[in-house]
């Protein structure tokens, strides 16, 4: 594997009705100690003030709008627009720590470089929630090594090899892609650095989608994983 140019990182984000949080997410990208070469944001049919919030960033962000088609379609559009050799992802309601890019690129410059790198994640309650709403949330305070897209940087050639995000999934498109990548032999390693702060708020997908829809998507991911293993 070739070494990684820190200026050749494209950050891909998809957003729908994210006026409340998307500015903070983008600001956390722009303030990186090793900034990316570009930020590509796909507005997936927003009907709130998201368009105006994105416009405030001017040329610092490449924005494309599309009718509401879902997160996977937005990610696929963003990847297709991205020009960097390395792809990173960030949800429009989450934030990166200041060294999120730098710490994940470091292993990709080593002799035995992996295809992609995950950092660790912490969760936090969004400040706009009331005390009562906050108390209803149940989550671990300790950092985790969950394979979330927002914690991953990966070589573009690998993204193209594994293929697009599954647009037929209503959720779990990131879990599905990572599972497919690993089934395809992609080498993804984890580092101890905390790179992602995942926001808990009233409109997290896990809270707004019907529970059965979420479970159905996850069952499909698991079923396809076992099918691929059996085929090999």
Q: Kindly give, in sequence order, each residue whose CB lies less than 8 Å from that of residue 134, ignoring residues fewer than 6 positions away.
A: 125
Residue 210 located in a structural domain: yes
Quote the DSSP letter at residue 144: B
Residue 53 located in a structural domain: yes
- Alpha-carbon torsion (139, 196, 211, 175), positive or negative: negative
Tokens of 33: 């100690």
| Radius of gyration of the chain measured on its C-alpha atoms | 17
Mean pLDDT of 22-36: 97
Would you state the pLDDT for residue 141?
A: 73
Would you state the pLDDT for residue 125?
A: 77
Would you state the pLDDT for residue 29?
A: 98
Percent of the chain with pLDDT over 90: 68
Would you state the pLDDT for residue 88?
A: 98
Of the chain, the end-to-end C-alpha distance in Å amounts to 26
Would you state the pLDDT for residue 177?
A: 96
Would you state the pLDDT for residue 146?
A: 87
Residue 84 located in a structural domain: yes
User: Is pLDDT above 70 for 133?
Assistant: no
Mean pLDDT of 130-140: 65
- Alpha-carbon torsion (91, 94, 46, 40), positive or negative: negative
User: Is pLDDT above 60 for 1?
Assistant: no
Residue 151 located in a structural domain: yes
Residue 94 located in a structural domain: yes
Strand order in the sheet with 38-44: 62-66, 38-44, 9-15, 86-89, 152-155, 116-125, 188-200, 95-96
Residue 48 located in a structural domain: yes
Domain residues for the domain of 114 are 6-231
Question: What CATH number does residue 127 fall under?
Answer: 3.90.550.10
Residue 1 located in a structural domain: no
d(CA 159, CA 101): 18
Would you state the pLDDT for residue 217?
A: 65
| Domain tally, the chain | 1
Q: Kindly give, in sequence order, each residue whose CB lies less than 8 Å from that of residue 39, ignoring residues fewer than 6 positions away.
A: 10, 11, 13, 26, 29, 30, 60, 61, 62
Mean pLDDT of 218-224: 67
Mean pLDDT of all residues in the chain? 88
Tens-digit pLDDT profile for residues 149-161: 999 999 999 999 9
Tens-digit pLDDT profile for residues 73-128: 999 999 999 999 999 999 999 999 999 999 999 999 888 899 999 999 998 877 77
Would you state the pLDDT for residue 200?
A: 83
């Amino acid at each position: 594997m070739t070494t990684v140019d820190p200026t050749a990182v494209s950050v891909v984000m998809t957003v729908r009705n994210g006026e409340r949080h998307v500015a903070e997410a983008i600001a956390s990208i722009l303030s990186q100690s090793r900034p990316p070469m570009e930020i590509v944001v796909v507005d997936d049919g927003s009907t709130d003030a998201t368009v105006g919030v994105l416009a405030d960033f001017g040329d610092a962000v490449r924005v494309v709008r599309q009718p509401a088609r879902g997160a996977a379609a937005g990610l696929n559009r963003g990847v297709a627009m991205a020009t960097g050799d390395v792809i990173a992802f960030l949800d429009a309601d989450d934030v990166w720590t200041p060294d999120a890019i730098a710490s994940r690129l470091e292993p990709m410059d080593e002799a035995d470089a992996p295809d992609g790198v995950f950092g660790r994640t912490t969760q936090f309650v969004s400040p706009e929630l009331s005390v009562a709403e906050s108390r209803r949330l149940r989550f671990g305070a300790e950092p985790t090594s969950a394979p979330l897209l927002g914690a991953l940087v990966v070589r573009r050639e690998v993204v193209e090899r594994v293929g697009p995000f599954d647009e037929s999934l209503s959720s779990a498109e990131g879990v599905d892609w990572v599972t497919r990548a690993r089934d395809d032999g992609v080498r993804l390693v984890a580092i101890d650095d905390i790179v992602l702060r995942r926001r808990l708020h009233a409109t997290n997908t896990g809270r707004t989608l019907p529970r059965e829809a979420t479970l159905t998507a996850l069952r499909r991911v698991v079923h396809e994983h076992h099918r691929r293993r059996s085929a090999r």
